Every structure is written in C-alpha cells, then in structure tokens.
Amino acid sequence: MKLRMLTHLGGTHDGEPWPLPGGIVEMAMPTEADVLVRTGQAEIVREAKPKPVIETAEKAPPENAAKRTAKPQPRRKAVK
C-alpha cells in the first residue's frame, strides 16, 4: 500500500529514512499503514486508473462541399 506522508517521522523504516512530508512510502504491512493513516501522519495514495484511449478517424469533407475562396464576398447593401 502506498502512502503519502503528511508529517515527518524520525528514525528509519525498513532501513531507510522516512520520507519528508509529501513523499511516498510503500508499506508492506496493512496494519502499520492503518496506524499512520488513522493518526493523521499519512494518507493513502489512490492509483489513478488509466483512461481508455478512444481513437477517432479524421473525417474528410465531402467532395461536393463548398470551397472557400481567398477573396471575400461583397457585402449586401442594407435595404431601406
């Protein structure tokens, strides 16, 4: 179980110094992780599930679609 540390603990965990606040630690024993979470010293890191990739095909315009011209069309005069 991965935990994000919220406080700094002295000493070591599995022979390594505890990470600073914001650091991630991997806990092998759920009971040890539970104590850290319940006492407010760490929070569980939720693994984000990868979003499925949705592939879309590029749609070509129809052959009979109007083509844009480089020259703008003249505006109509207002009718009074």
The span from the CA of 25 to the CA of 13, in Å, is 9
Which of 2, 38, 32 is CA-nearest to residue 19? Answer: 2
The predicted model scores a pTM of 0.56
- Higher pLDDT: 5 or 62? It is 5
pLDDT higher than 60, residue 69: no
**What is the structure's pLDDT at 42?**
95
- Domain ranges in the chain are 2-44
The tens digit of pLDDT for each residue in 12-68 reads: 988 889 999 999 999 888 899 999 999 999 999 987 777 777 777 676 666 666 666
Tokens 């650091």 belong to which residue? 23
